[in-house]
Structure 1
Amino acid sequence: MPLTFRKSFRILPGVRLNINRRSWSLTTGGGSHGPRHTHSSTGRRTTSMDLPGPFGWRKTTTKRRRNR
């Protein structure tokens, strides 16, 4: 079983710094019924929102790499 590391720090109300073994991310928003926006150091951006009942919505985009 591999070991994992993940830690989340609340730095301001509504702002979290998430750290894992390979990257870090900053999450903003996510109030009682609002969307959450996450920006990762790897270029991934995620917007998610909890919907009524057992439903949720998530959209993830990644930064395109340029061919050299």
Structure 2
Amino acid sequence: MENNLSILMGEKKANIADVHKGTGLPRTTISSLYHEENPNPSTKVVMKLCKYFEVTPNDFFGIKGERNYG
């Protein structure tokens, strides 16, 4: 699944080591998300990253607008 981790890291001028320190997530997990090699990150991982970058899951995954399910 596509994500905006590389964009978020660029905006914050953070590298993988910074994100690792700030979230406690393994560097390999962060790297695989950065390179979009992890198609299905866990909710726990996504929420830690969202908290660190102060964004919503929609921001993290680049989901814009509202969907009409009715």
Query: TM-score, normalized by length of structure 2?
Result: 0.21
Of the two, which has the highest radius of gyration? Answer: 1
Query: TM-score, normalized by length of structure 1?
Result: 0.22
RCO (CA 8 Å, sep 6+): is it higher in 1 or 2? 2
The structure with the largest helix share of the pair is 2
The structure with the largest strand share of the pair is 1
